Amino acid sequence: MPTKTRDNDPTVLILTSLASGPKHGYGLLLDIEEFAGVRLGPGTLYGAIGRLEERGLIEPLSADGRARPYRLTAEGSTALEKTLAELRTIVEEGTARLQVQFS
C-alpha cells in the first residue's frame, strides 16, 4: 500500500508532538515550532487534527478551560511508529548513498 507521509506532513508533526503527552491547539503549535522549526497555520492544524481524530489516531480529552487537549491513541502510537520506521529507512539509505557519492 503506498504511503504518502512526508517529513513536514502536519499529521506526523502532530502525532510526534502528542507522543510526549496531551496538548491543545496552541500547545501543539508551539511544540511543533520548537522541535521541527515549522509554524503550522491554525486552519492547517485543525484540518489535520480532524483527519487524525476521524481515523482514531488521536482523541480529545475533557475541555481544559476553553481549549480541548488531545492525546495519542494506541492506534496513533502504532501508526507513528510505522511512519517513523519508514522515514528512518529513507534517512539511512539517503545518508549511505551520500557517503558513497562524496567519499
Partner 1 sequence: MRLLYAYPPAWRARYGSELAVLLEELDGGRRARLDVVRAGLVERLRPLGLGSLSPHARAREGSLLVLYAWTLFVLGGFGIQKASEHWQETTPGGDRAVPAGAFDGLVVIAAIGTALVLLGVALVLPRLRAAIRRDGWEGLVRPLGPAAWLSLLTAAATGGLAAWAHTLAPAARNGHDAFYDGAFVAWVLLFAVTLFSWSAAAASIARRLELSNTLLRIESLVAAAVVASMALMTAATFIWWSSAHGYGFAANVNVIVPVAAMICATILGLIGALRAARAVTLISGGLTS
- Which of 13, 18, 32, 49 contacts partner 1 by CB under 8 A? 49
Q: Count CB neighbours of 32 within 10 A.
A: 20
Decide: is 17 part of the binding site for partner 1 (CB under 8 A).
no
Decide: is 9 part of the binding site for partner 1 (CB under 8 A).
yes
| C-alpha separations of 57 from 40, 63, 88, 90, 94 in Å | 19, 19, 21, 23, 29
Contact footprint for partner 1 (CB under 8 A): 1-5, 9, 11-12, 15, 24-26, 29, 41-47, 49-51, 53-57, 59-60, 62, 66-68, 75, 78-80, 82-83
